[in-house]
A and B are shown apart, each in its own frame.
Chain A
């Protein structure tokens, strides 16, 4: 089956620093990737939709200048949390949809971000 990887799996950073999270589709091309955030015991909240070669579409309430998304190729999207604060600590999960029409989103294993 299709595999999506994320790196790093866990990161701890100091308040005020920036953190980059990578999302890769390993065995398929993904024109669309999605970034979610999940707080403990809560559902996945879509942050933004990333299309290769174009600007990401952010959900209401998500600061695009704080959460920078780059989808430079058909297999890689990155999320950069800029000037991180403790309230940004969360589980960040990406997903990817295959280029061919498909209902299924393949999810990465997630990245646990802790901001101290």
Chain B
């Protein structure tokens, strides 16, 4: 079993829809949760960062963490064609000292 599971998609939704992306994990030591966006043939860029359980909102993006279920989500509201990319979840157990463990990434396409 992988430490982090993420549905690779692909996922296609019409412009303006709400997108829900999810990851599950097995390592209860993970405390720091990130979402990265990666455009084709580019390096990942950090979108959202959350510590422990809870919600965090930044513009059209909302990250949720449920540590009891070992489940994290990223919601994108009012999706735009420019949101089309691969979204990777990543997790870390100790702040600044441990490696990131990535999910496989979900390929998202927003249809105009």
A residues with a Cβ closer than 8 A to B are 4, 6, 34, 41-46, 49, 59, 91, 93, 95, 97, 101-105, 107-110, 112
Contact = CB atoms under 8 A, between A and B. Distances in A.
Given A34-B99, A109-B42, 9 more contacts: A43-B88, A43-B102, A97-B96, A102-B96, A103-B32, A103-B49, A103-B95, A107-B44, A107-B45
Interface of B: 6, 8, 32, 34, 36, 41-46, 49, 88, 92, 95-96, 99-100, 102-105, 107
A49 B96 contact: no
Nearest to A93: B43
B45 A43 contact: no
Nearest to B10: A41
A109 to B, nearest CB: 5
Nearest to A110: B43
Nearest to B8: A41
Task: Give the 9 A-B residue pairs with the shortest CB-CB distance, closest first.
Answer: A107-B43, A43-B104, A43-B102, A44-B102, A109-B43, A107-B44, A110-B43, A108-B43, A93-B43
